[in-house]
Amino acid sequence: MTNPVGMRRTLTHYGDADFSVFLRKAFIKAMGYTDDALERPIIGIVDTRSGYNACHQNVPDLIEAVSRGVMLKGGIPVPFPVVSIHESFAHPTSMYLRNLMAVDAEEMIRAQPMDAVVLLGGCDKTVPALLMGAISANVPAIMLVTGPMLAGSWRGERLGACTDCRRFWSRYRAGEINDTEIQEVNRELAPTIGTCSVMGTASTMALATEALGMMLPGGACVPAVYGERRRLAEQTGARAVELAAEGLTPDRIITPASITNALRVVLAAGGSTNALIHLTAVAGRAGIKIDLDGFDRLGAETPVLVDLKPTGQHYMEDLYKAGGLVTLLRELKPLLTLDCLTVTGRTLGAEIDAANASFDQDVVKPLTDPIYASGAMAVLRGNLAPAGAVIKKAAADQRLLQHTGPAMVFDSLSDLAARIDDPDLDVTADSILVLRNAGPKGAPGMPEAGYLPIPKKLARAGVKDMVRLSDARMSGTAFGTIVLHITPESAAGGPLSLVRTGDMIRLDTEGRRLDLLVDDKELAARRRALPVEAVEKARGYRRLYLKEVLQADEGCDFSSFVPDLTASAPIAGK
Ligand code: FES
């Protein structure tokens, strides 16, 4: 017996399958469909438009173009809503909600009849959430991102969200620009709809998704407001109908090798540290574990080639004009596994060979002349991070990568906010700022608070960077000598909970170590003296979240949603 297709898929249970189809058709006919239309393959289109999400404001246009592509190939497009998350409109954090969106996407794809699904997202958490849901549902799926916004301009200088948001806010805090000027900058940071214009998490995840093979070639970089973005949408819709006929499901595309390709692209792009957490969660849904030490080795042999902010100077529209992701893939070819299948039904290597010819450009550097020779990121271990921590070396003040200094500890985000600008704060440029209780459970939701502000009195004295440590994340658009994702987090009993102001901490990036220079006996005594935290009586989603959320090294997914991890990535390099 063949599997049911179209309207006969995933029937509502009434105990009589024919009645279920009869009833379903009665209701959908209220929207004007003919029987002929209802016999066609159904392509679900995830609708993530929200009045709170500027990154997704072109979603209605894209749905129209996807639908056109679906119908040109003889399918029926059916948009349906799921949760939409924007970074700046998600309390307490967008990360707290990513798994909610993944659950929503998975169950709506599974519950409703669709022979394939177009995943339409863009803002940071939406792409990983949709991939996680689609992998678990394992229906033929193809990703279309909303595309990056264009760069802005202030007094002759190019600007973009959100590296320049942070840069100008730091200048404002340091008294270098005034109230009027910061307001002028505010109007130019996001001059159009679309995702952030630098190599932040959204751009990184778009590149990673194309490298993974879940998006049409060329799909990552086209700006949101370009006609080409709509043409891509039409092509995506058309391809979705073919995917449905071929039954090409995500489990054939997401493999240890394709995950490794995606990680290489993240590293070579100087991408966001958040992508490591998201790809760990995406891989986890496919039963693949990302090995952090393997990722570190991958970093050592993968140079940074893409010259985009925050590590470089350009914006996403420049990478698009430089040929898009394939310009980078061509350079990385000797390091990639080329026989990975993609949503086109062809391999990654075949797609690279079929792309337009290369030309002179200055956004993607050749492998022989990288921007940063080895690894944008490094994984640290040590007595402060037994299960790992990550540092984005490429975005750090290189002089601080080897540094020992006294800790200034902040117990929470509110403690940080209350004291960081206190003129009497006992800090110098050599101090190491430590933030705890900002991890997956502690905050909760692992906020992008790892970019601790430079204390005002030091900023005004010209200090631009300091070593900063936390169990939080950091926006991919930020920069500095910042150690993130310290695991286990302090709220889960990690050693970060034992640090006291004045303790010496050693950051040894070269040796991949992060150590608290306090002897074991003293640390054991401090652990015994820790107060017993009352268990929070949470309800609803918060209760589910606190019970289920995993640590950063496991992608912060919900434990019940991750199958047994039977394979691991990165796979052996070449
Ligand atoms: Fe949506 Fe940056 S806020 S991509």
Candidate of 84, 93, 123, 125 to mutate for ligand 1, largest count of ligand atoms within 8 Å of Cβ:
123
Largest CA distance in the chain: 76
Angle at the Cα of 244 from the Cα atoms of 251 and 235, rounded to 5 degrees: 100
Q: Reduce the DSSP state of residue 268 to 3 states and report it.
A: helix
Q: What is the pLDDT along the chain (574 residues), one digit of tens a residue?
A: 578 899 999 999 999 999 999 999 999 999 999 999 999 999 999 999 999 999 999 999 999 999 999 999 999 999 999 999 999 999 999 999 999 999 999 999 999 999 999 999 999 999 999 999 999 999 999 999 999 999 999 999 999 998 888 889 989 988 999 999 999 999 999 999 999 999 999 999 999 999 999 999 999 999 999 999 999 999 999 999 999 999 999 999 999 999 999 999 999 999 999 999 999 999 999 999 999 999 999 998 999 999 999 888 999 999 999 999 999 999 999 999 999 999 999 999 999 999 999 999 999 999 999 998 877 899 999 999 999 999 999 889 999 999 999 999 999 999 999 999 999 999 999 999 999 999 999 989 999 999 999 999 999 999 999 999 999 998 877 789 999 999 999 999 999 999 999 999 999 999 999 999 999 999 999 999 998 777 778 999 999 999 999 999 999 999 999 999 999 999 864 4
The predicted model scores a pTM of 0.96
Distance, CA of 534 to CA of 537 (rounded, Å): 9
Question: Which residue reads 């609803």 in tokens?
Answer: 540
Name the residue with the closest Cα to ligand 1, atom 3: 87
Is there an atom of ligand 1 within 6 Å of 196 CB? Answer: yes
Distance, CA of 356 to CA of 564 (rounded, Å): 41
Sign of CA pseudo-dihedral 448, 452, 453, 459:
negative
Is there an atom of ligand 1 within 6 Å of 87 CB? Answer: yes
Residue 422 contacts residue 410 (beta carbons within 8 Å): no
Token pair for residue 511?
A: 């040796």
Name the residue with the closest Cα to ligand 1, atom 1: 123
- Amino acid identity of residue 390, one-letter, is V
CA of 312 to the centre of ligand 1 (A): 19
Give the pLDDT confidence score for residue 319 in this predicted structure: 98
Relative to the CA of 201, which ligand 1 atom is closest?
A: 4
The secondary structure of 335-369 as a DSSP string is: GS-TT-B-TTSSBHHHHHHHSPPP---SSB--TTS
Closest CA to 37 of 78, 92, 2: 78
Token pair for residue 101?
A: 């969106």
Is there an atom of ligand 1 within 6 Å of 316 CB? Answer: no
Residue 335 contacts residue 302 (beta carbons within 8 Å): yes
Is there an atom of ligand 1 within 6 Å of 515 CB? Answer: no
Name the residue with the closest Cα to ligand 1, atom 2: 196
Distance, CA of 46 to CA of 422 (rounded, Å): 47
